[in-house]
């Protein structure tokens, strides 16, 4: 249901306040890469200037060798959503998701979301323990396994034995009907967002 026209300005205020507070940097840019709107974390991203910045008032990669590639990516999402990887080989620094934004009566633009791949940000988790019937301890171990931690590291951090961690993992595999970390990741990762 669309908002009542009487409340349109009120809903606009709510949507701006909500989107400005995203923990993910977000920008809307014109086709020429001129910023139209930036949320607070987007401003912080640009002010840091490590990965992205403004060059002559236009959004650009901080790495000059990737600027053309980034411009090409943004041009490609004028018609369909896409994702671009910023970084090289194993040192991927960021995923950039782009989508066309075409408000009625306005010039089309591009919405960009920047996802850091350095593990600095905590994930938000849905209550997958309830969905799969997992105990609180099993949930904590699954989150660490999905984060790439090894069983020995989990045992040390949790103050439990390696055998206890392995027992929890075996029980989780049984409850979820999986037999590998890949299957576990595939089943649980939809419950995790940044």
Give residue 142's Cα distance to chain centre.
20
pTM of the shown model: 0.61
Which of 69, 84, 116 terminates a domain? The answer is 116
Which DSSP letter does residue 190 get?
A: G
Average pLDDT over residues 49-73: 93
Q: CA-CA distance, 63 to 87, in Å (whole number)?
A: 9
pLDDT bin (cut points 50, 70, 90) of residue 88 is low
Domain contains 52: yes
Does 146 share its domain with 90? no
Domain contains 94: yes
Q: CA-CA distance, 134 to 90, in Å (whole number)?
A: 33
pLDDT at 2: 47
* 38 contacts 21 by C-beta, under 8 angstroms: no
Domain contains 96: yes
Does 99 share its domain with 173? no
Which of 95, 116, 137 terminates a domain? The answer is 116
* 86 contacts 25 by C-beta, under 8 angstroms: no
CA 128 to each of CA 17, 42, 85, 98, 168: distance values in angstroms, whole numbers, following the listed order: 29, 30, 29, 29, 16
CA dihedral 177→182→187→191, nearest 10 degrees, is 140
Does 58 share its domain with 102? yes
Domain contains 144: yes
Does 63 share its domain with 33? yes
- pLDDT tens for each residue of 149-162: 899 999 998 899 99
Instruction: List Cβ<8 Å contacts ≥24 apart for 136-142.
Output: 137/168, 138/168, 138/171, 138/172, 138/175, 141/165, 141/168, 141/169, 141/172, 142/172, 142/184, 142/188
Residue 12: CB partners within 8 Å, gap ≥ 6? none
Regarding beta strands 58-61 and 82-86, do their DSSP bridges make them parallel or antiparallel, or are they unpaired?
unpaired
Domain contains 50: yes
Structural domain span for residue 145:
124-193
Does 112 share its domain with 178? no
Domain contains 14: no
CATH of residue 70: 3.30.450.20
Does 46 share its domain with 87? yes
Does 50 share its domain with 101? yes
Residue 178 vs residue 19, higher pLDDT:
178
* 41 contacts 126 by C-beta, under 8 angstroms: no
CATH of residue 179: 1.10.10.10
Residue 167: closest CA among 149, 182, 155, 183: 155
Does 174 share its domain with 107? no
Which of 82, 116, 150 terminates a domain? The answer is 116
- pLDDT tens for each residue of 107-143: 899 999 998 775 544 567 889 999 999 999 999 999 8
Query: Token digits for 173?
Result: 């595999």
Domain contains 12: no
Summary count for the chain: helices (H), strands (E): 8, 9
Q: How many domains does the chain have?
A: 2
Domain contains 169: yes
Does 28 share its domain with 107? yes
Query: Token digits for 90?
Result: 């194993």
Does 95 share its domain with 41? yes
């Amino acid at each position: 249901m669309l908002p009542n026209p009487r409340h349109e300005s009120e809903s606009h205020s709510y949507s701006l306040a909500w989107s400005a507070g995203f923990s993910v940097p977000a920008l809307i840019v014109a086709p020429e890469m001129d910023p139209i709107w930036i949320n607070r974390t987007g401003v912080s991203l640009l002010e840091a200037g490590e990965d992205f910045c403004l060059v002559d008032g236009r959004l650009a990669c901080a790495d000059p060798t990737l600027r053309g590639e980034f411009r090409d990516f943004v041009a490609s999402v004028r018609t369909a959503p896409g994702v671009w990887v910023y970084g090289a080989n194993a040192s991927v620094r960021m995923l950039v998701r782009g989508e066309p934004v075409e408000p009625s009566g306005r010039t089309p633009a591009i919405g960009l979301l920047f996802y850091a791949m350095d593990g600095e940000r905590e994930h938000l988790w849905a209550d997958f323990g309830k969905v799969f019937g997992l105990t609180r301890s099993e949930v904590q171990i699954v989150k660490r396994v999905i984060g790439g931690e090894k069983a020995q590291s989990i045992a040390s951090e949790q103050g439990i034995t390696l055998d206890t961690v392995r027992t929890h993992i075996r029980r989780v595999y049984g409850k979820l009907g999986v037999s590998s970390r890949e299957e576990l990741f595939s089943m649980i990762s939809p419950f995790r967002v940044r």
